[in-house]
Homo-oligomer: A and B are copies of this chain.
Amino acid sequence: MQLSEKDQSFVYHFGEMGSKWGFNRTVGQIYALLVISEDALSANDLASALSISRGNVSMGMKELQSWQLVQVSHIPGDRKEYYSAIGSVWDMANRVFQERRKREVDPTLTVLRNLLLEEPKSDSEEYAQQKMQDIHDLLEMLTDWAAELQSLSPQQLGTLMKLGAGVSKVLSVKEQLFNKNKDNS
């Protein structure tokens, strides 16, 4: 398989970027190629298009499957497996966020919670502990909120984001609402 120049730019760039988003260059390239390919591709297609070994493709697909980013399908009369990217671009972003949270943030929260169980024994430990608490609280808030956002429909999310500068305006509205409710209760 031969890539067009445009596809190559895209695929190579996402290889570089992919490595910053939690998987390595090759895995990034495989995924990029699957995303822009209308038809599902076989492992051999991927290996030849990207000039990498068959074994490397196999390992890459395993990784992408663990991120739940790809789908396997079959063509009748053909024994090969065919791969394609799963879902919309939104779905993809959600998956990546979720997976990164699970792999990076959750273990940190666990470590922090354990450290925070012990009482500080000196002023400097007190200071350190306070910082750990701050980081814990921040991470917890961010993950809770991210989960919240993921429960919204893409439609709602779109509305929320397009709101842009309006967020603070809406916040003040919320404030009024909240107070009104308080009076009522």
Contacts and interface: CB of A to CB of B under 8 A. Distances in A.
Given A128-B10, A132-B10, A104 B20 contact: yes
A128 B127 CA distance: 53
A23 to B, nearest CB: 11
A81 interface: no
29 contacts: A6-B118, A6-B125, A6-B128, A9-B111, A9-B114, A10-B111, A13-B107, A17-B107, A20-B100, A20-B104, A21-B104, A36-B127, A36-B132, A37-B128, A38-B124, A38-B127, A38-B128, A141-B158, A141-B161, A142-B161, A144-B161, A145-B164, A156-B171, A159-B171, A160-B167, A166-B174, A170-B174, A173-B173, A173-B174
